[in-house]
Amino acid sequence: MASRLLYLARHGEQESAEVESPEIGLSERGRRQATLLGERLRSVPFRTVHHGPLRRAAETAELVAASLPGIPVYATELAGDHLPHDTDPAGLPAAYANFLAAFPERERVDGPRLTAAAVARFATAPLDGEDRELVITHNFLIGWLVRHALDAPERRWLGLNQHNAGLTVIRYSSSGPPSLIAFNDVAHLPPELRGTGLPSDYRV
Helices 139-149 and 105-122 sit at what angle, rounded to 10 degrees? 60
Query: What domains lie within the chain, and their CATH numbers?
Result: 3-127+137-167+187-197 (3.40.50.1240)
What is the reported pTM?
Answer: 0.94
Going by pLDDT thresholds of 50, 70 and 90, the confidence category of residue 129 is confident
Pairing relation of β-strands 130-137 and 3-10? parallel
Whether 22 has a pLDDT exceeding 90, the answer reads no
CA dihedral 77, 60, 125, 44 (to 10 degrees): 160
Tell me the HSE value of 144 on the side-chain side, using a 13 A CA sphere. Answer: 27
Going by pLDDT thresholds of 50, 70 and 90, the confidence category of residue 23 is confident
Decide: residue 11, CB within 10 A, 0-12 exposed, 13-18 middle, 19+ buried. Answer: buried
CB 102 within 8 A of CB 95: no
Whether 203 has a pLDDT exceeding 70, the answer reads no
Helices assigned H by DSSP within 68-155: 94-101, 105-122, 139-149
The per-residue pLDDT for range 47-99, each reduced to its tens digit, is 999 999 999 999 999 999 999 999 999 999 999 999 999 999 999 999 999 99
* CA dist., res. 43 & res. 67, Å (int): 9
Q: CA 41: distance to chain centroid? A: 15
pLDDT of residue 202: 54
Q: Given strand 176-185, what is the order of strands in its sheet?
A: 73-75, 48-51, 130-137, 3-10, 167-173, 176-185
